[in-house]
Amino acid sequence: MAPFCLLFTILALALVETNGNPGGLAVNEKPGEVNIGGSFSAPDFSITTLNNGPILSKSSLEGKFVLVDFWSSWCPPCRAEAQLLADLYRGYEETNIEFIGVAVWDTPAQVLRHIEKYTVEYPNSLDLKGEMAISFGLKGIPEKYLLNPNGDVIAKFTGPSSREQLSQFIKENTDIDVPKQPSKN
């Protein structure tokens, strides 16, 4: 009985230390492209955007490149790059790339505050249970997966990024020209 109690005590302490994060999710502090060893089919997904917006799925995005950004409002590197991503998205609006934000292990109120604070206009969803994150093999946040128009994951970028790094990452993997200046509303 004592080992059983000890196990539950350790698990309870781990949940308290990780603010209830069940996945051992890490915060990626250093930026960089990750070699994924070729391409692979992205997992099927279907997400409802915040505020009961449209449902986005892998099949509904076919024909476009898709940058899937996993983030959380409590993550310092995610907050540090939030405005950059919002501005960069506006610069790519007229191209064949869509950005999708997926908040993981977060609360609806915090996610909505984050999106409002940084004027994030691209579609975002909340993955409360981490199902989409797990299906993509998420190791930490922020983490970005780039899908080609066929729905294959062709590249991965971890950690916070600068405008130059992310623009170069997109250019090298899509041949979509880097916008010179982000558009302003």
CATH number of the domain bearing residue 119: 3.40.30.10
Classify 97 as helix, strand or coil: strand
**pLDDT recorded at residue 47:** 87
**pLDDT recorded at residue 156:** 92
Residue 77 located in a structural domain: yes
Q: State how beta strands 32-34 and 55-57 pair.
A: unpaired
Residue 65 located in a structural domain: yes
**pLDDT recorded at residue 180:** 62
Q: How many domains does the chain have?
A: 1
Residue 181 located in a structural domain: no
Q: Concatenated DSSP letters for 63-74?
A: TSEEEEEEE-TT
**pLDDT recorded at residue 152:** 94
Residue 47 located in a structural domain: yes
**pLDDT recorded at residue 49:** 87
> Domain limits at 108?
23-174
**pLDDT recorded at residue 54:** 80
Burial of 181 by CB count in 10 Å (0-12 exposed, 13-18 middle, 19+ buried)?
exposed
Extract the residue ranges of the chain whose pLDDT is less than 50.
3-24, 183, 185
Q: Whole-structure pTM over 0.75, yes or no?
A: yes
Residue 2 located in a structural domain: no
Q: Concatenated DSSP letters for 129-149?
A: T-HHHHHHT--EESEEEEE-T
Residue 168 located in a structural domain: yes
**pLDDT recorded at residue 12:** 44
Query: What tens digit of pLDDT does each residue of 11-32 get?
Result: 343 344 444 444 445 665 555 5
Residue 136 located in a structural domain: yes
Residue 4 located in a structural domain: no
